[in-house]
Homo-oligomer: A and B are copies of this chain.
Amino acid sequence: MRVELICIGTELLTGKVNTNIGYIGERLNSIGLDLSLVTTVKDTIDEIEDAFRKAMSRSDIVISTGGLGPTFDDLTREAVAKVLGRTMALNREAFSEMMQFFIKRNWEMSKNNERQAYIIEGAKILKNSLGTAPGQLIEVEKKSAKGKSGNKILILLPGPPREMQHMFEEQAFSYLREYETLIKRKLTLHICGLSESAVDEKIRPIVEAERKLEKEAVEFGILAHQMLIDIKISVSGKDELLIDETLNTLKKEFYDVLGENILGEDKQTLESVTGELLAKSKKTLSLAESCTGGLVAHRITNIPGSSLYFKQGFVTYSNDSKVKVLGVSQEVLQEFGAVSEQTALQMAQGALELAKTDYALSLTGIAGPSGGTPQKPVGLVYIGLAGPNIKEVYKYQLGGNRIEVRERAANIALDVLRRKLVQNAKEAARK
């Protein structure tokens, strides 16, 4: 079964990031289907037609995202109808569903929304409970005697990720599961505190030993991103037990060489893992951020239920607020500056006392692009940690632009806290 994806939208070729490819790829992987190729095209009828024509000539399943909206540049419906030589008609059911969507929200339905209820001859409607554009599923060739294997399948999904994902999960995925042929298990290990090359060197013996075995199909990948390294392992085959065993053995071997540098697996993130550790040990956290300007607080509070352990954050961007709110001393600021070990420590201690939490994390640094000096260049960041018998400061010289320095500093700060919480949990267990 060859699967292709066509992503439709001029915006995807001129600036907007596309999260749909990764989402669909990952979900297909989970049932042993691979995205062989992804084509991204702009919103012109000729390009869209051509992409569908080519994809249908070489693949069994063609999925598309985008171009189902109400506006003049939403052309997927028209293009596919032309390629298939089929007509389109206003579907009363789809139209009334759409009206319901507007009535429920007390929104006015605009004339051009009507276009969205045009359905290609023979298509199955995929309901969109989160938006106005219904999707369409079309089986193109006649069924052969052996069932569906003679068909080509076309699935048209909307572009907005939330609508696409919901429709995919509720309606397309169960349909595609019928084509599941291969069992595939995947595991991603997230690492912080080592370079990409260092991780590669540590795991290379494992990877090479596995390659020599050639039993199950095992694939490895390494990916570095803002001080985080991901190791991706996938094992596929026909024998579920053997696959699980292989993956578990590899996982154990990776943990043996990487230990606590592994912060989590799969969907886990620094903020989710840190949050879990805080929740499990019934500890609370406050933050004092300068250079990261609220990014760490934002990430921590992205996690549902974070109010359980996260109490308060201070974004003390001005020196004045560091003094007045957090109680950093004027003398320290004058003698050592706002970006210093001493200030980082006083910020963390100030937050700890004010918020009465168990831990407080602070960040102060020079995110750039300006503000650097030869003594304190752009990328210099101090991270302070205060807590029960803890008064620690870490100094880093980070690379990258303003956005990257801030992201990297946030990652390191969360990792500093994570390692401390892991260590404390171990000590508590020992007692």
Shortest distance between the CB of A270 and any CB in chain B (Å): 15
Return the CB mask of A178-211 against B: 1 if under 8 Å, else 0.
0000000010000000011110110010010000
Q: How many angstroms between the C-alpha atoms of A293 and B313 in the bound complex?
A: 8
The minimal Cβ–Cβ distance linking A64 to chain B, given in whole angstroms, is 14
Q: A37-B41, A38-B38, A311-B320 are in contact. List 18 more A-B contacts (CB 8 A).
A: A11-B221, A12-B22, A13-B21, A38-B40, A43-B221, A70-B197, A70-B200, A72-B220, A73-B221, A105-B399, A110-B198, A112-B200, A112-B201, A162-B401, A304-B368, A311-B321, A313-B317, A324-B354
Interface size on A, residues (CB 8 A): 103
If over half of A's interface residues share one DSSP class (helix, strand or loop), that class is named, otherwise mixed; here it is mixed
Report chain B residues within 8 Å CB of A324: 354
* Residue in B19, B220, B297 whose CB lies within 8 Å of A315: B297
Contact A35 B13 (CB under 8 A): yes
Q: How far is the CB of A391 from chain B (nearest CB, A)?
A: 23
Query: Does A57 make an interface contact (CB < 8 A)?
Result: no
A302 to B407, CA, bound (A): 11
Chain A residues within CB distance 8 Å of chain B: 9-19, 21-23, 25-26, 29, 34-43, 47, 51, 69-73, 105, 107, 109-113, 130, 160, 162, 186, 195-198, 200-201, 204, 207, 219-225, 230, 232, 287, 289, 292-298, 300-302, 304-307, 310-318, 320-321, 324-325, 354-355, 368-370, 399-404, 406
Residues of B near A51 (CB, < 8 A) are: 37
**Complex Cα gap A301–B402 (Å):** 10
Bound Cα distance from A41 to B321, whole angstroms: 50
Q: Point out the residues of chain B lying under 8 angstroms from A200, CB to CB.
A: 70-72, 110, 112
Say yes or no: A18 contacts B15, CB within 8 Å: no
B12-A355 in contact (CB<8A): no
Contact between A315 and B301, CB atoms less than 8 A apart: yes
In the assembled complex, which residues on chain B have CB atoms less than 8 Å from the CB atom of A230?
Answer: 11
Q: List 21 A-B contacts (CB under 8 A).
A: A11-B223, A14-B232, A15-B25, A37-B41, A39-B39, A40-B40, A105-B399, A107-B195, A112-B200, A293-B306, A293-B313, A294-B295, A302-B406, A304-B370, A304-B402, A306-B317, A307-B317, A310-B317, A311-B318, A312-B321, A324-B354
8 smallest CB-CB distances across A and B, nearest first, come from A293-B301, A294-B297, A313-B315, A294-B294, A110-B197, A13-B25, A294-B298, A15-B22
Which residues from chain B contact A310 at a C-beta distance below 8 Å?
293, 317
Chain B neighbourhood of A40, CB < 8 A: 21, 37-38, 40
Within the complex, what minimum Cβ distance (angstroms) separates A264 from chain B? 15
Residue among B26, B298, B301 making CB contact with A15, cutoff 8 Å: B26
CA distance A113 to B307 in the complex (A): 44
Shortest C-beta distance, A161 to chain B (Å), equals 10
Asked if residues B293 and A297 are in contact (CB atoms below 8 Å), the reply is yes
